[in-house]
Amino acid sequence: AQKVTQAQTEISVVEKEDVTLDCVYETRDTTYYLFWYKQPPSGELVFLIRRNSFDEQNEISGRYSWNFQKSTSSFNFTITASQVVDSAVYFCALSLSGTYKYIFGTGTRLKVLA
């Protein structure tokens, strides 16, 4: 069975601190996709990144970076120099190849304090 675990329920940091959100997934499939979404208080899930299981290169996009490690089944998300606008709930999700179903984690609420 597939599963996504976001063990951190809530994280609070002070502005300009770096913060890492953890995501651990379980699947026996060799081809799959991993996603991160941001859900601000407004409610919309904002797509951040999609990564396929064959691409283990880390990705950087501005202040955001992602560390994909198949050896530990983890796909962690780091925000550098956090800002108040980063406050949101962040979801990690897993999708198997050829399907439309996402297995979402329970989310990590990030609070960035001014």
Partner 1 sequence: ETGVTQTPRHLVMGMTNKKSLKCEQHLGHNAMYWYKQSAKKPLELMFVYSLEERVENNSVPSRFSPECPNSSHLFLHLHTLQPEDSALYLCASSQGLESETQYFGPGTRLLVL
Q: Which of residues 50-89 bind partner 1 (CB under 8 A)?
A: 50
The C-alpha atoms of residue 76 and residue 24 are separated, in whole angstroms, by 8
Give 36: exposed, middle or buried? Use CB within 10 Å, 0-12, 13-18, 19+: buried
Site for partner 1 contains 8 (CB under 8 A): no
Among 12, 69, 83, 97, binds partner 1 (CB under 8 A): 97
Q: Site size for partner 1, by CB under 8 A?
A: 22
Q: Which two tokens stand for residue 67?
A: 């560390």
Q: Which two tokens stand for residue 10?
A: 């809530």
Residues that bind partner 1 (CB under 8 A): 33, 35, 37, 42-47, 50, 91, 95-102, 104-106
